Amino acid sequence: MRLPTQSDFAGQAVVSITSPAIGPLTHAVLLLHGIGDTIAPFTALAKNLNLPRAVVIAVQAPQPMPFDLGGFQWGDDVVFSKDPASGEEVLSPDAEFNKARLYLDNVIRNVLERKCGFMPAENVILWGYGQGAMVALDMAACKFNLCAVVSVGGWIPGFVKPRDIIDLPRSTSVLLCGGDKNSAVTNEKVRQAEQLFKECRRVKFDMNGDLMPRNKQEMAPILRFLLRILIADDLATQGLS
């Protein structure tokens, strides 16, 4: 296993790469931004995380937003849905992700696995926000047995059909995060994920809606989840796993 470089992704994907803070390289954490965003905020997040043993790769979505809105999206097309509160048509993150599946399949299989020696089920973690979180869950349900997924404000996409899902229950460890008020991550959506994945935990932030963690207290459960995976070998050696 070796550290990926920008040249590995040339012509494949737009990424930023943050090397492990300390320790031997054991995992790759892919950060997937929300709809209409770029890799810039998650590049800053990657540097602030300072994770041991993990290369953190912010991946830019493949589809530019239409109508000169700026930013990028993961959906095959933009989807609008009716806001239950206002009744207005609003941009929905719940789209079909056929193009994103191919794009991330190439990143994981051709770059991380074949070029760099990572094994998806053992070494690859996806952390997504909003639409990026939905893509992460879609990949874990329909494409790869991954090591883990951190989903902030995401759920199993509505376009996923039972025939798409393979090898139930999926072995990927999943952490579902959202606000404790007006969250789109409803109890029903959590139950759906729990039916698909062998390990599925839920975290509620003290916030209105579903934002990325804003402070150390909100970030703590995500870091505990990740560090439990990243230092699993040490814990096993000490008899603490």
Strands 89-92 and 79-82: antiparallel
Nearest CA-CA partner of 135 in 96, 183, 171: 96
Which whole number is the average pLDDT over 107-120?
A: 96
Residue 239's pLDDT band (boundaries 50, 70, 90)? Answer: very low
pLDDT attached to residue 133: 98
CA 211 to chain centre: 14
Beta bridge partners of 17: 57
- pLDDT tens digits, one per residue of 194-222: 999 999 999 999 999 999 999 999 999 99
CA distances from 148 to 28, 64, 171, 209 (A): 11, 27, 9, 24
Q: What is the per-residue pLDDT for 86?
A: 61
Neighbours of 10 (CB within 10 A): 9
Cross-strand pairs, 126: 30, 149
Residue 241 banded pLDDT, cuts 50, 70, 90: very low
Q: What distance in Å separates the CA atoms of residue 25 and residue 123, rounded to the nearest whole number?
A: 10
Q: For residue 236, name the pLDDT band (cuts at 50, 70, 90).
A: very low
- 146-185: per-residue pLDDT in tens? 999 999 999 999 999 888 888 888 999 999 999 999 999 9
Give the pLDDT mean for 219-235.
Answer: 85
For residue 210, give both structure tokens: 């579903």
User: In whole angstroms, how far apart are CA 136 and each of 8, 70, 75, 176, 181?
Assistant: 21, 22, 12, 11, 23
Predicted pLDDT at 164: 85
pLDDT of residue 119: 95
Q: Report the C-alpha gap between 37 and 137 in whole angstroms.
A: 19
pTM for the whole structure: 0.92
pLDDT in tens, 29-86: 999 999 999 999 999 999 999 899 999 999 999 999 988 788 999 999 888 776 665 6
Residue 33's pLDDT is: 97
Task: Indicate if the pLDDT at residue 237 is higher than 90.
Answer: no
Q: CB count, 10 Å around CB of 166?
A: 11
CATH superfamily of 6-237: Alpha/Beta hydrolase fold, catalytic domain (3.40.50.1820)
